């Protein structure tokens, strides 16, 4: 027993040291969306490899969670950057301001498209948003009345669609990917009369059917890729980077006649596209070492440009003007206007 | 009851016994079958991660191109650029390559290749101005092709590498310039977004540090708590409530402890985020009830005659417990602790909230350095889109299973070795 007491004291001592060390920080901290994570990590790694600064720590906790951590305050205990697969919301800006994070820098870093994909062995298909909504919703308008979804095959919805059972793998409700899909496809493709009958509540459009045709597959997109590879008539949706990393096994269906390609996503002619952002705290500029340099690396031609290294891992670049604008913002550390 | 009825009854009993046996064997073999499928799956997809593919390249360490000479200090060498000599060597692979294809030639090797050259030169400075054959890590796409994880006989636009790269690769392969070697860097490197460079070095050390912190905290506290509760505490309402709470805590979902850690250790005590210190603290809280319960069971299993004998010979209560009961209960408490820790080793959920689910590129040395742990590495890699991470994920699981088996079998070994049999 006598041996244990000094150990406990050493540990208490260690924690005291830890607290003192935490006061100064020489390592950048990035948090936020799991969609932006693959890109921020690549930048972080290259940034660290150059040898002037430590490799930043990049967490993957989702866009919403990222803003919560980002807006919690200014100082070394709070992250410097957060990635997001959607623009910051008004409530989040208010939260930031309440906690003293008044100057936020917003950087457009690129775009992502959600691919509605199937195994390469399946047939090429073209869907409209409405057809997708009808196939996946819990309730649809049928003969002027609201009924539980009656469709079992794609061809029941439209003769031009394949004569196979409807089976779609979806992300869980906590995922930002699902939020984007719901906003664009489920709400966008929803029948107007249906919304009216539901008392103008768009929420009803985003309820997925529960009879086994729509399967919740968990947060892991790699798993969805594996599952649709093994059964050729099953569809699933996920970010563009998963499509290009697995293009030997899967291919994307067209939506409204457009395939998810770099051009289609960049110009937003492909309907299910979304912008990606990096948010930075101006209060940390020139305080945390490497802050300005990291932003410069992230927005460099070498990174987010049309042939940059982020393009190779699946980031769909912005137009040249937006790219230039991002560099301007970094050069002047321009804060966003609300 | 005549003899016939007896016989029927007997037969019924026998067949009931047979049925019971059959169900038992059936469920065990089903469990073994699933385990085998799981292990087979993991091993077949994970073993290739222990090897890496390299390209032997003739490099000319030209002092003019490097801008260094024999007397250049190490610092200046580290700052100099080895990219040019690397690109020259790669472009030499196909001198007729059109300009547009040149970038594809350069992409054949990993982005780490220029640093590999630098490291080689720092150790072999006499090679200046000489042409040397050096093996460099291939890019992950070609590595996966060579290992057979990526098909080659599909149209070019569905592949991750071009026809041209494939042609160059085949040429080099036919000249025996493509080699496979044991992937030491997998055990040494930290996480990376390039699958061919990614390793478990950082998360392995992170796991060890976390478990160490967890052990240092949870074992003494848990052990002493168990001794007090079992041997000294009066049996009344309060101890009863404590006992119920301990049992309850053991069943609390682990993510709740993560929330507690976030609220107390990070937001109140301002301990550094993403560190093994906080991870260990959180896991210690989680492990405490799981140590207290088996420790109490082990103490309870010690025959009362030992205690009473010691007391009868005039020992005080503390002496009886510390000198007689605890040594006999030690094997049981040790194995309980080890099993509790092996559970902590496999935990990810409580670590998400304290920031350990993160990309960390540096191998930690102290418990206050940012770090990931093995199960987190599995989680992060299984989420990654790149093909090269599939084998890495399985390989990490193999390592994790290896450590779990090691810990659990050491628990059994310790118990068997030190256990005293009573007759």
- pLDDT tens for A295-312 read 999 999 989 988 888 988
Q: What is the pLDDT of residues B349-377, one digit of tens each?
A: 898 888 888 899 889 988 888 899 999 99
With contacts defined as CB-CB under 8 Å, which chain A residues touch B358?
57-60
Classify residue B4: in a domain, yes or no. Answer: no
pLDDT-derived band at A2 (thresholds 50, 70, 90) equals low
Least confident of A174-183, A243-252, B243-252: A174-183
Which residue in the block uniquely carries the two structure tokens 């990931």? B372
Q: Are both B314 and B235 inside the same structural domain? A: yes
Same domain for B342 and B219, yes or no, is yes
d(CA B213, nearest CA chain A) in Å: 8
Give the C-alpha separation, A285 to A291, whole Å.
6
- Claim to verify: residue A78 and residue A139 sit in the same structural domain: no
- The nearest CA of chain B is from the CA of A39 a distance in Å of 9
Q: B170 or B104: which carries more pLDDT confidence? A: B170
Residue B371's closest CA among B263, B279, B283, B282? B279
Both A75 and A150 in a single domain? no
Is A221 at the interface with chain B, CB within 8 A?
yes
Give the domain range for residue A251: 113-273
Which residues of A fall within a CB distance of 8 Å from B380?
60
Residues A268 and A121 in one domain: yes
Q: Which of A249, A273, A297 is at the close of a domain?
A: A273
Instruction: Name which of A22, A45, A221 is nearest B272 (Cβ-Cβ).
Output: A22
Q: What is the pLDDT of residues B155-166, one digit of tens each?
A: 888 888 888 889
> Which residue among A49, A60, A251 sits closest to B357, beta carbon to beta carbon?
A60
Q: Are the Cβ atoms of A45 and B194 closer than 8 angstroms?
A: yes
Give the residue from chain A lying closest to B153, CA to CA. Answer: A248
Q: How do residues A63-74 score in pLDDT, each as one tens digit?
A: 888 999 899 989
Tell me what the mean pLDDT of segment B81-99 comes to: 85
User: Distance (Å, rounded) from C-alpha B1 to C-alpha B7?
Assistant: 10
Tens digits of residue pLDDT in B194-245: 899 999 999 999 999 999 999 999 999 999 999 999 999 998 999 999 999 9
Last residue of a domain, one of B121, B148, B183: B183
ipTM of the complex in this document: 0.79
pLDDT at B73 > cutoff 90: no
- A283 is a domain residue: yes
What is the domain-level CATH number for residue B234? 1.10.3720.10
Q: Is the pLDDT of residue B106 over 70?
A: yes
CB pair distance less than 8 Å for B367 and A14? yes
pLDDT per residue as tens digits for the range B257-301: 999 998 899 888 888 888 999 999 999 999 999 999 999 999 999
Task: Write down the number of H helices and E strands in chain A.
Answer: 15, 13
Inter-chain touch B358–A59, beta carbons under 8 Å: yes
Count of domains forming chain A: 2
| Arithmetic mean of pLDDT, A218-244 | 88
Q: What is the mean pLDDT of chain B?
A: 90
B210 and B77 in a common domain: no
The CATH code of the domain that includes A170 is 3.40.190.10
Confidence band of A1 (pLDDT split at 50, 70, 90): low
**Are A194 and A213 a contacting pair, CB within 8 Å?**
no
Helices vs. strands in chain B: H and E counts, helices first? 19, 4
Domain identity same for A257 and A174? yes
Domain check: are A321 and A238 in the same one? no
- From B277, which residue of chain A is nearest by alpha-carbon distance? A15
pLDDT at A329: 94
| Within-domain flag for A166 | yes
Both B79 and B131 in one domain: the answer is: yes
A116-153: pLDDT as tens digits? 999 998 889 999 999 999 999 998 888 888 889 999 99
For residues B216 and B314, membership in a common domain is answered with: yes
- The rounded mean pLDDT for chain A is 87
The total number of structural domains in chain B stands at: 2
| Claim to verify: residue A118 and residue A201 sit in the same structural domain | yes
Q: What is the 3-state secondary structure (H, E, C) of B77-139?
A: HHHCCCHHHHHHHHHCCCCCCCHHHHHHHHCCECCCHHHHHHHHHHHCHHHCCCEEEEEEEEC
The rounded percent of chain B whose pLDDT value lies above 90 is: 52
For residues B121 and B260, state if they share a domain: no
Question: In the predicted model, is pLDDT for residue B100 greater than 70?
Answer: yes
Q: Are residues B171 and B214 in the same domain?
A: no
Of A22, A44, A247, the CB nearest to B359: A44
User: Residue A338 falls within a domain, yes or no?
Assistant: no
B38 inside domain: no
Q: Does A42 touch chain B (CB under 8 A)?
A: yes
pLDDT at B1 over 50: yes
Q: Which residues in chain B have their CB less than 8 angstroms from residue A21's CB?
A: 272, 368
**Domain end (from B183, B215, B238):** B183
**Looking at the structure, do residues B149 and B233 belong to the same domain, yes or no?**
no
Which residue of chain B comes nearest to A313, CA vs CA? B386
pLDDT digits (tens, 9 = 90+) for A166-177: 999 998 887 778
Residues 105-164 of A with CB under 8 A from B: 120
How close are the terminal C-alpha atoms of chain B, in Å?
42
Taking CA–CA distances from B198, the nearest residue in chain A reads A45
pLDDT at residue A17 above 60?
Answer: no
Kindly determine whether residue B150 and residue A248, on different chains, have CB atoms separated by under 8 Å: yes
- Residue B224 covered by a domain: yes
Q: Are residues B206 and B80 in the same domain?
A: no
**Which residue, A273, A294, A313, sits at the end of a domain?**
A273
Specify if A66 maps to a domain: yes
**Same domain membership, residue A170 and residue A101:** no
Whether residues A93 and A133 fall in one domain? no
Contact B358 A57 (CB under 8 A): yes
Same domain, A78 and A121: no
Count CB neighbours of B404 within 10 A: 16
pLDDT the model gives residue A16: 53
Has residue A186 been placed in a domain?
yes
Q: What is the pLDDT of residues A254-285, one digit of tens each?
A: 999 999 999 999 999 999 999 999 999 999 98
Based on the fold, state whether residues A27 and A142 are members of the same structural domain.
no
Residue B6: inside a domain, yes or no? no
pLDDT at residue A190 above 60? yes
A31 and A55 part of one domain: yes
Q: Do B385 and A223 touch (CB under 8 A)?
A: no
Residues B164 and B294 in one domain: no
In a domain, A77, yes or no: yes
**Residue B285 placed within a domain:** yes
Secondary structure (3-state) at B202: helix
Q: Which residue of chain A is at minimal alpha-carbon distance from B381?
A: A222
List chain A residues with CB under 8 Å of B150: 248
Domain match, B175 and B216 both:
no
Structural domain contains residue A337? no
Q: Is pLDDT at A219 greater than 80 in this prediction? A: no
Cβ neighbours for A67, distance < 8 A, ≥ 6 positions apart: A32, A82, A84, A88, A89, A92, A95, A96, A279
Distance between CA B137 and CA A332 in Å, rounded? Answer: 40
Last residue of a domain, which of B183, B216, B247?
Answer: B183
- Compute the average pLDDT of residues B51-67: 89
- Domain stops at, among A229, A254, A273: A273
Residue A139 lies in a domain: yes
Structural domain span for residue B84:
48-183
- Give the CA diameter of chain A: 82
Cβ pair B203, B373 in contact under 8 A: yes
Q: Are A46 and A297 in contact (CB under 8 A)?
A: yes
> Which of A8, A20, A22 best probes binding to B when mutated, by most B CB atoms within 10 angstroms?
A22
- Measure the CA–CA gap between B109 and B103, rounded to whole angstroms: 11
The 10 Å Cβ neighbour count of residue A145 is: 8
Q: Which residue did the predictor score with more confidence, B57 or A3?
A: B57
The answer as to whether B29 is a domain residue is no
Q: Do B361 and A55 touch (CB under 8 A)?
A: yes
CA angle B293, B215, B256 (to 5 degrees): 65
B41: closest CA of chain A, how far (Å) = 14
Find which of A15, A172, A314 to mutate to test the B interface (most B CBs within 10 Å of its CB).
A15
* pLDDT value of position B423: 45
The verdict on A19 touching B (C-beta cutoff 8 Å) is yes
Q: What is the pLDDT of residues A31-90, one digit of tens each?
A: 988 889 999 999 999 898 887 898 999 988 888 889 998 999 898 888 999 999 888 989
Are B245 and B322 in a shared domain? yes
Instruction: Look at residues B306, B260, B403 and name the one whose alpha carbon lies nearest to residue B345.
Output: B403
């Amino acid at each position: 027993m006598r041996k244990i007491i000094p150990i406990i004291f050493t540990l208490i001592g260690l924690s005291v040291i830890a607290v003192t060390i935490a006061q100064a920080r020489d390592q950048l901290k990035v948090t936020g969306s799991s969609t932006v994570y693959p890109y921020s990590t690549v930048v972080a790694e290259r940034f660290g490899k150059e040898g002037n600064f430590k490799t930043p720590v990049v967490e993957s906790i989702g866009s919403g969670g990222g803003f919560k951590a980002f807006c919690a305050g200014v100082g070394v205990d709070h992250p410097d950057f957060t990635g997001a697969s959607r623009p910051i919301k008004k409530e989040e800006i208010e939260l930031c301001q309440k906690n003293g994070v008044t100057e936020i820098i917003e950087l457009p870093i690129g775009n992502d498209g959600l691919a509605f994909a199937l195994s390469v062995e399946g047939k090429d298909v073209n869907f409209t948003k409405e057809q997708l909504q009808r196939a996946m919703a819990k309730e649809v308008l049928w003969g002027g009345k609201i009924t539980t979804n009656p469709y079992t095959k794609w061809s029941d919805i439209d003769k031009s669609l394949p004569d196979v059972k409807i089976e779609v793998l979806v992300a869980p409700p906590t995922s930002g990917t699902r939020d984007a899909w719901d906003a664009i496809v489920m709400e966008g493709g929803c029948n107007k009369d249906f919304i009216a009958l539901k008392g103008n509540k768009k929420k009803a459009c985003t309820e997925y059917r529960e009879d086994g045709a729509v399967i919740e597959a968990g947060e892991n997109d790699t798993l969805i890729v594996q599952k649709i590879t093994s059964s050729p008539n099953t569809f699933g949706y996920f970010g563009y980077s998963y499509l290009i990393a697995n293009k030997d096994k899967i291919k994307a269906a067209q939506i409204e006649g457009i395939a998810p390609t770099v051009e289609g996503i960049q110009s937003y002619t492909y309907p299910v596209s979304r912008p990606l952002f990096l948010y930075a705290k101006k209060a940390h500029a020139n305080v945390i070492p490497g802050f300005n340099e990291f932003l410069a690396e992230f927005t460099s031609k070498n990174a987010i440009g049309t042939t940059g290294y982020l393009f190779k891992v699946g980031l769909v670049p912005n137009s040249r003007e937006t790219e230039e604008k991002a560099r301007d913002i970094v050069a002047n550390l321009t804060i966003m206007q609300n | 009851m005549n003899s016939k009825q007896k016989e029927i009854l007997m037969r019924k009993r026998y067949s009931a016994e047979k049925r019971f046996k059959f169900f038992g064997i059936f469920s065990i073999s089903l469990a073994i079958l699933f385990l085998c499928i799981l292990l087979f799956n993991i091993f077949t997809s994970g073993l290739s991660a222990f090897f890496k593919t390299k390209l032997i390249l003739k490099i000319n360490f030209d002092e003019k191109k490097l801008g260094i000479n024999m007397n250049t200090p190490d610092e200046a060498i580290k700052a100099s650029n080895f990219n040019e000599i690397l690109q020259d060597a790669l472009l030499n692979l196909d001198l007729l390559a059109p300009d547009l294809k040149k970038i594809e030639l350069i992409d054949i090797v990993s982005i780490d290749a220029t640093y590999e050259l630098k490291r080689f030169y720092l150790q072999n400075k006499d090679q200046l101005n000489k042409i040397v054959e050096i093996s460099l890590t291939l890019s992950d796409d070609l590595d996966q092709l060579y290992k057979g994880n990526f098909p080659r006989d599909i149209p070019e636009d569905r592949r991750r590498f071009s026809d041209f790269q494939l042609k160059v690769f085949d040429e080099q392969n036919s000249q025996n310039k493509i080699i496979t070697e044991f992937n030491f860097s997998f055990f040494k490197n930290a996480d990376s977004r390039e699958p061919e460079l990614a390793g478990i070095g950082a998360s392995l050390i992170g796991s060890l540090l976390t478990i160490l912190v967890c052990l240092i905290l949870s074992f003494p506290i848990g052990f002493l708590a168990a001794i007090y509760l079992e041997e000294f505490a009066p049996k009344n309402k309060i101890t009863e409530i404590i006992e119920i709470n301990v049992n309850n805590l053991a069943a609390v979902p682990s993510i709740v402890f993560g929330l507690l850690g976030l609220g107390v250790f990070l937001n109140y005590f301002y301990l550094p985020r993403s560190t093994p210190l906080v991870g260990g603290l959180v896991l210690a809280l989680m492990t405490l009830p799981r140590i207290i319960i088996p420790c109490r069971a082990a103490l309870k299993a010690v025959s009362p005659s030992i205690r009473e004998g010691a007391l009868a010979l005039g020992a005080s209560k503390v002496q009886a417990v510390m000198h007689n009961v605890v040594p006999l209960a030690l094997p049981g408490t040790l194995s309980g602790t080890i099993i509790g820790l092996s559970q902590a080793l496999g935990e990810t959920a409580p670590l998400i909230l304290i920031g350990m689910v993160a990309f960390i590129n540096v191998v930690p040395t102290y418990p206050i350095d940012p770090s990931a742990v093995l199960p987190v590495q599995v989680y992060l890699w299984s989420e990654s889109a790149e093909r090269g991470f599939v084998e890495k994920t399985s390989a990490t699981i193999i390592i994790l299973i290896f450590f779990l088996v090691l810990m659990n079998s050491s628990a059994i070994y310790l118990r068997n070795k030190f256990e005293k049999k009573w007759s």
